[in-house]
Homo-oligomer: A and B are copies of this chain.
């Protein structure tokens, strides 16, 4: 990738891209392994192997650094819908569960819930991460539910992954995900019982 001219040259300089990627990679590690209170310019710089001045140059405030680190979790993998609503919902919730483990989304979301409550500047990042995460579940549910019921159904299905993970410290198993989807679809207007 060669440097290109444009309004924001620095963002396209491959050395700059590399530096930013290195630092954000280190920041994710710190966030997941050590907690958000350890995510300081000094400590992230140490872990990434750059000077503190470099980290400050790219992210002038700690909020800037937190915001960009969390924003990396906006693009989690999603299931590609097949058209079978039941299987699509089960597969998407199963991918949500996998991301909890593989991308340590369990730690990231727990920290994000905690941090966004304390630091309002981070609330918009949480909104983006969550909107992106719930998008497919909401689209799938919109084919059979509407209005307040669609909203409730979305929180209920996300809750089937969230509540076991956060409140019980264990991921939902396959049976739990299938039972939840079956229960919900049985209540869907115009769908016959399974």
Contact = CB atoms under 8 A, between A and B. Distances in A.
A45 to B, nearest CB: 20
A130 B167 contact: yes
A114 to B, nearest CB: 4
Given A37-B35, A179-B148, A117 B106 contact: yes
Contacts of A175: 148
Given A114-B110, A117-B106, A176 B148 contact: yes
Nearest to A148: B179
Interface in A87-127: 106-107, 109-111, 113-114, 116-118, 123, 126-127
Question: Which residue among A109, A127, A167, A180 has the maximum number of chain B CB atoms within 10 Å of its CB?
Answer: A167
A166 B183 CA distance: 24
A183 B35 contact: no
A160 interface: yes
Nearest to A126: B169
Interface residues of A, number: 45
Nearest to A180: B152
A24 interface: no
Contacts of A116: 169
A148 to B, nearest CB: 4
A99 to B, nearest CB: 14
B160 A152 contact: yes
Interface of A: 35, 37, 106-107, 109-111, 113-114, 116-118, 123, 126-127, 130, 134, 148-149, 151-153, 155-160, 162-164, 166-169, 172, 175-176, 179-180, 182-184, 186-187
19 contacts: A35-B118, A107-B117, A110-B114, A111-B114, A113-B114, A117-B169, A126-B167, A126-B169, A148-B175, A148-B179, A149-B182, A152-B179, A152-B180, A155-B176, A156-B159, A156-B160, A158-B159, A162-B166, A186-B186
